[in-house]
Amino acid sequence: MKKREKIYFAAVLLVLYFMQISVFCQQEDIKDSGQRETLKKIIRLNSKSEFNTKNSPREAISYAKEALVLSQTINNEFYKGYSLLNIGTAYRYVQALDVSMEYLLRALKIFTELGNKNYIAKTYTKIGMVYFGLGYIDKSLDYYKRALDIFQNTGDSLGVSSSLNGIGLVYNSKRDFKKALKFLNRAFSIEEEMGNSKGLSRVCDNLGIIYNDMGNYQDALPLFQRALTLNRKAEDKWGEVEVLNNLGNLYTKLNNYDKAAKMLNQSRKLAMDIQDRNLLLDNYEYTSSLYEALGRYREALKYRKLHHSMYRIVSSDKKKDNIAELQVLFATEKKDNEIKLLQSEKDIKNATIKAQRFWLLFIISVMVLVLFISVFIIIHIKHKMDTYKLLARKNLKIVEYERYIEKGDSKALMSMRRAHIIETRDQVVDNEIKYSGSSLTREQKQSIFNDLIQIIEDKKYYLNHDASLSDVSEKLGINRSYISQVINEEFGKSFSNLINEYRVAEARRLLAEDSERVFTIASVASSVGFNSVNVFNKAFKKYTGITPSFFVNSVQKTELQTS
């Protein structure tokens, strides 16, 4: 493609691109800067929610709820689901599991309607965790496996690891330690390969829990220690408290009471700092067990009482959260239904307006496209005609030069044609390889070449309708393969192409000199040896770049201009 054509083609593509952008902008829900700012705020709030989920779950809930309200104002379904998912996840950390499930199921419904596989799988994982906390072990396992199938199909390694981790814990609760270790070791390999410290600390902690439950304390110890190091490095205080509790409990079983006390004291202080009552609940239980093992029953009783008091507080908080949040959910659902009813009429009107705008834009776009294509075609045709005219002038000059040469010597004319034919070789042939087995000497080749020139040029063999390589071979008494070799080496083309090029040169001369228009193109084609007008037209176009009729018309116009 020529440079000029490329420029126009690029211009058309550019226009089409901007038209697509225009259509896209018409169809987008976020139409103005105010809505874009709202969307940015939603993203920031959800990011804060995820960051605070473990260490400050109630703050996380607050952030995600604010994001949910904003998502509803701009009617963005994905971020509604995303905010609901974050709310449900955070409620699990405050042990309000019924409330957590309600939010997660609402999120799942939205992601399912959107067909978002990745977030369907993420929600399945969270639902699996909640069912596990509620004691529905088989349901938990089912949701983890559903998530695992999707994550494996989408190639989400982090999701696969999370699902494997959950499945391992479910099998541990079933006391099927072999399967539990199988799934958790797979998760461990994935996290270690990715270098994901946060995920690796969680898997190490869970593996330690399984070995602890098996009574294999020596294997559990390094896993808990590694999890503690990783959590501290990541500054994950919630994870650090959980592992310190596990280490304190393990050291008690190993009769290393000093270390047990140290771990549990650190755990208790951190749990109070982050105000996590559930982690304090575990700490009081493990501290009571430590003092029982030491025979210090008064301290053991003290922490047992603290454990019971904290259990009542946590249970009370859970009930309050469940009642309050379920009431909010009911009210929200009712309000959502009312809003949907009012919104439906507005949506119909907006859809009608949007459709009208779309079709108007589409019609304009099609008209612009047709205009540009038309311009491009016209330019292309003009460029093509200019090229043809240039080729016609070039061929006419060749004919004029041939006339001049022929006046002096007809053999000089044929010599000129031959030089042009040799110059315009059809292909570059590696003759040294192709004819490496030939027995022809240089002198023999020159002799055959001279014989060919005599029969083709002097006797004008190319005008013969039945011209063939076999016929030439018979007339010259030379092996046809030798003749073919010489033609290929000297002219760089086949016998038939060589003959046709001589014929075309002769036809071009006849058409240019036929000022009275006595001959038709068909008669000229026949007079120079062609048996078919179609074959003649193709050969003429191949060697001159233009059709015979265009050449004739160019000759006529030239004659009119000079007369």
Q: Where residue 500 sits, what CATH number does that domain have?
A: 1.10.10.60
How many angstroms separate the CA atoms of 223 and 200, rounded? Answer: 10
Which of 258-262, 297-301, 393-397, 542-546 shows the lowest mean pLDDT across its residues? 393-397
Q: 425 near 490, Cβ under 8 Å? A: no
Angle at the Cα of 493 (from 491 to 495), degrees rounded to 5? 95
Instruction: Give percent of the chain above pLDDT 70.
Output: 83
Three-class DSSP category at 94: coil
Could you read off the pLDDT of 178-222 as tens digits, one per residue?
999 999 999 899 988 888 888 888 899 999 999 998 999 999 999
Q: Is residue 540 part of a domain?
A: yes
pLDDT digits (tens, 9 = 90+) for 116-133: 999 999 999 999 999 998
Q: Evaluate whether 372 touches 15 at the Cβ level (below 8 Å).
A: yes
Predicted pLDDT at 54: 76
| CA nearest neighbour of 251 among 279, 278, 289, 200 | 289
Q: In the 3-class helix/strand/coil scheme, how is 91-130 assigned residue by residue? A: HHHCCCHHHHHHHHHHHHHHHHHHCCHHHHHHHHHHHHHH
Residue 491 confidence (pLDDT): 85
Residue 449 lies in a domain: yes
The pLDDT, as a whole number, for residue 32 is 62
**For residue 80, is pLDDT > 90?**
yes
- Contact at 8 Å (CB) between 207 and 237? no
Per-residue confidence (pLDDT) for residue 24, from 0 to 100? 46
- Count CB-CB contacts under 10 A for residue 200: 21
Contact, 358 vs 23, CB < 8 A? yes
Percent of the chain with pLDDT over 90: 35
- SS3 (DSSP) at 478: coil
Find where tokens 């104002």 sit.
73
Higher pLDDT residue, 57 or 149?
Answer: 149
* Residue 360: predicted pLDDT: 86
Tell me, yes or no, whether 191 lies in a domain.
no
20 domain-assigned: no
| SS3 of residue 494 by DSSP | coil
**Distance (Å, rounded) from C-alpha 32 to C-alpha 22?**
14
Q: What is the Cα–Cα distance from 248 to 265, expressed in whole angstroms? A: 9
Place of tokens 């029953």: 297
Average pLDDT over residues 454-479: 90
Q: How many residues does the chain have?
A: 563
Q: Whole-angstrom Cα distance, residue 303 to residue 284?
A: 5
User: What's the structural domain count of the chain?
Assistant: 1
Task: Enumerate residues 6+ apart whose C-beta is below 8 A from 406.
Answer: 412, 413
Q: C-alpha dihedral over 511, 512, 515, 517, to 10 degrees?
A: 20
Convert the pLDDT of each residue in 217-260 to its tens digit: 999 999 989 989 988 888 888 888 889 999 999 999 999 999 99
Q: If you average pLDDT over every residue of the chain, what do you get?
A: 83
Nearest Cα neighbor of 82 from 47, 54, 36, 130 is 47
The per-residue DSSP string of 514-548 comes to -TT--S-HHHHHHHTT-S-HHHHHHHHHHHHSS-H
Burial (CB count <10 Å: 0-12, 13-18, 19+), residue 263: buried
Q: What is the pLDDT of residue 407?
A: 67
- What is the average pLDDT across 105-123? 93
Note the pLDDT tens digit of each residue in 266-297. Answer: 999 998 888 777 888 889 999 999 999 999 98
Q: How far apart are CA 320 and CA 65, in angstroms?
A: 18
Residue among 194, 254, 195, 193 nearest 224 (CA)? 254
Encoded tokens for 89: 């996840």
**Rounded to whole angstroms, what are the CA distances from 420 to 131, 363, 402, 501?**
88, 55, 12, 10
| Burial of 201: CB neighbours in 10 Å, binned 0-12, 13-18, 19+ | buried
Is pLDDT of 38 > 50?
A: yes
pLDDT at 23 over 50: no
Sign of CA dihedral 505, 509, 512, 518: negative
pLDDT at res. 559: 66
**Could you tell me if residue 415 is inside a domain?**
yes
Instruction: Convert the pLDDT of each residue in 387-426 to its tens digit.
Output: 888 888 888 888 777 776 766 666 677 777 777 777 777 6
So what's the pLDDT on residue 340?
52
User: What residues have CB less than 8 Å from 98, skipping those under 6 apart?
Assistant: 134, 322, 326
- pLDDT class for 29, splitting at 50, 70, 90? very low
pLDDT single digits (tens) 429-440: 555 556 656 778
Buried b (16+ CB within 10 A) or exposed e, 115-127: ebeebbbbbbbbb
In a domain, 494, yes or no: yes
Domain for residue 200, yes or no? no
Domain that holds residue 512: 399-430+439-562
Query: Would 411 be classed as within a structural domain?
Result: yes
Question: What confidence score (pLDDT) does residue 221 get?
Answer: 92
Residue with tokens 């959502």, as numbered in its chain: 336
